[in-house]
Amino acid sequence: MSAHMHGTPKGSTLLFATLILATFATWGMGSLGVTGTWGVAVLAAISFWKGAVVILDFMALRHAPLLWRALTMGWIIVVWALIAIAYIKGLAQ
C-alpha cells in the first residue's frame, strides 16, 4: 500500500474545514436569494470543487489508475455541463 494513500489527519482536517466553509457559502447565497448566470456559476463552481475533493482525496482516486480518475471526474464534469445547458435553455424560455 502506498504511504499516505488516504492522506494525513492534518491534511484531511484542513480539507474538511474548507468543505464546511464552502457549504456555508452555498447556504448563504441561497438565503440571500443570489440568482442569475454568475450567481449560479459560482454555486456550480463551489459544488464542483467540493465534489472533486471528495473524489480525489476522500475516495483516494488521486492515487488510482488514470482511467478511474477520468471516469469519476468526467462524471461530475458532464453532470454540471448538462445542468448548465438546461439552465441556459431555461433563460431563453
Rounded Cα–Cα distance for residues 36 and 17 (Å):
28
Least distance to other proteins, CB of residue 93, Å: 6
Q: Least CB distance from residue 76 to other proteins, whole Å?
A: 8
Angle, nearest 10°, between helix axes 36-53 and 66-91?
160
Residue with the three cell numbers 461530475: 76
Q: How many CB atoms lie within 10 A of CB 61?
A: 19
Q: What end-to-end distance do the CA atoms of the chain give, in Å?
A: 53
What minimum distance in Å lies between the beta carbon of 78 and other proteins? 7
The residues of the shown chain that bind other proteins, judged by CB under 8 A, are 1-2, 4-9, 12-13, 16, 19-20, 23-24, 26-27, 29-31, 35, 40, 43-44, 46-47, 50-51, 54-55, 57-61, 63-66, 68, 71-72, 75-76, 78-80, 82-83, 86-87, 89-90, 93
d(CA 93, CA 90): 5
Q: How far is the CB of 90 from other proteins (least distance, A)?
A: 4
